[in-house]
Amino acid sequence: MTSSYWSPVVRDLAPYVPGEQPRGLDIVKLNTNENPYPPSPRVLEAVRAAADERLRLYPPPEADDLKAVIAAHHGLEIDQVFVGNGSDEVLAHAFFALLNHGRPLLFPDLTYSFYPVYCRLYGIPWREVPLTADYAIDIADYRGDIGGIVIANPNAPTGRALPVSDIEALLASHPGVVVLVDEAYVDFGADSAIGLIARHPNLLVVQTLSKSRALAGLRVGFAAGHRELIEALDRVKNSFNSYPLDRPAIAGAIAAFADEGYFQTQRRRIIASREALVAALSGLGFEVLPSAANFLFARHPQRDGGTLFQALRGQGVLVRHFDRLRTHQFLRITVGTEAQNARLLEVLETLLTEA
């Protein structure tokens, strides 16, 4: 359906399609990479405290208190940090402000599917670089006259991670363009590239509090980089929305960083559950790609991925299926609670036995 009122850009857009968000309670929801555990009790207390009569006032436009906390956590200066409504908004501003140069933007052919959406929205030419046969990123494939590079590390939906040495080699070989590293899942097993910022002014690192800090419902993301890159993001942000983060979100995010012990405990718990799930799926005959994220990318050599996806859904277990040439046999499975993972394995074992 189209409308005569739509602009040509809107008519040609193919929007990002998020994972299904069911309303029912009797669902094992392993399809959107959410944290299976609640945020820190300190976060809930801070959010409640922030929801007072001050809601009639605009929030601090630059969220400087939160920026200062993030900067201190990562050994940066406050003017090296940018914050926004989840990493998706931060990424959108970065595509517009730093990656729109009329030359192709490079990113993997199998990665976060919002990247081509941003390119279409802003009229950015792009080129998808094929992953290797084992679904890894080979930085030697990123070359030519380009306008920038975007790498999700760990990559999604594969979960595979690059070492920081590869990121640094990529930065060194392309000093004239911005290399954006999307670290939405970095806390689950990869090494952050933030430590490279001092040596590489072309590096922008984007992170989110939605995954490892369990704040998907608050929508807080940030970018870290050279001051010149951050200034460009601020210019774009202040041309769209000068008050991006609300008071409860700022308060909750600050509290999440303050409770480092809770963060580390829950992070290690998810990593342990992931490794146990890898072993169990392998025991059922699945091929599971190496993952440094809070999800797994797995396929069974004797069962069609789409058929398994639908069968699981019929049993109230939601996972993600990407019906593309190189991914249609895979399921992307979020690491859930111990009980959720056990239910997934129980249903899979029954389905495979029946087959």
* Token pair for 90: 């931060």
Q: Are residues 284 and 162 in the same domain?
A: no
Identify the band that residue 280 occupies on the pLDDT scale cut at 50, 70 and 90: very high
Q: Are residues 225 and 200 in the same domain?
A: yes
Q: What is the pLDDT of residue 145?
A: 94
Q: Are residues 270 and 234 in the same domain?
A: no
How far apart (Å, rounded) are the C-alpha atoms in residues 222 and 233?
A: 11
* 230-236 contacts at long range (C-beta below 8 A, 24 or more positions apart): 230/79, 230/80, 230/81, 230/82, 232/97, 232/98, 233/82, 233/90, 233/93, 233/94, 233/97, 233/98, 234/82, 235/97, 236/93, 236/96, 236/97
Q: What is the pLDDT of residue 127?
A: 98
Residue 8 pLDDT greater than 90, yes or no = no
CB atoms within 10 A of CB 50: 19
Identify the band that residue 15 occupies on the pLDDT scale cut at 50, 70 and 90: confident
Q: Are residues 301 and 154 in the same domain?
A: no
Residue 216 pLDDT greater than 80, yes or no = yes
Q: What is the pLDDT of residue 349?
A: 97
Q: Are residues 239 and 287 in the same domain?
A: no
Give the global pTM. Answer: 0.95
Q: Which of 258, 286, 306 corresponds to the end of one domain?
A: 258
Residue 307 pLDDT greater than 70, yes or no = yes
Q: What is the pLDDT of residue 110?
A: 97
Residue 100 is part of a domain; what is its CATH number?
A: 3.40.640.10
The answer to whether residue 249 sits within a structural domain is yes
Which is nearest to 36 in space by CA: 285, 252, 339? 339
* Token pair for 286: 């699945």
Q: Which of 198, 224, 258 corresponds to the end of one domain?
A: 258
Mean pLDDT of the chain: 95
The answer to whether residue 214 sits within a structural domain is yes
Which is nearest to 274 in space by CA: 177, 344, 175? 344
The answer to whether residue 13 sits within a structural domain is no
Which is nearest to 113 in space by CA: 101, 100, 126? 126
Q: Are residues 240 and 275 in the same domain?
A: no
Q: Which of 223, 258, 293 corresponds to the end of one domain?
A: 258
Query: For the chain, what is the domain count?
Result: 2
Q: Are residues 254 and 309 in the same domain?
A: no
Q: Residue 131 to residues 93, 150, 242, 314: CA-CA distances in angstroms?
A: 26, 14, 38, 32
Q: Are residues 216 and 81 in the same domain?
A: yes
* Helix (H/G/I), strand (E/B), else coil: 180: strand
Q: Are residues 293 and 186 in the same domain?
A: no
Q: Are residues 110 and 23 in the same domain?
A: no
Phi, psi of 281 (to 5 degrees): -65, -40
Q: Are 81 and 257 in contact (CB under 8 A)?
A: no
Q: Are residues 186 and 329 in the same domain?
A: no
Q: Are residues 165 and 292 in the same domain?
A: no
What residue numbers bound the domain in which 223 lies?
Answer: 41-258
Which is nearest to 14 in space by CA: 112, 92, 87, 116? 116
Intra-chain end-to-end CA distance of the chain, in Å:
41
Mean pLDDT computed over 127-131: 98
Query: What would the pLDDT profile of 220-246 be if each residue is shown by its tens digit?
Result: 999 999 999 999 999 999 999 999 999
Q: Are 49 and 146 in contact (CB under 8 A)?
A: no
How far apart (Å, rounded) are the C-alpha atoms in residues 355 and 351?
A: 6
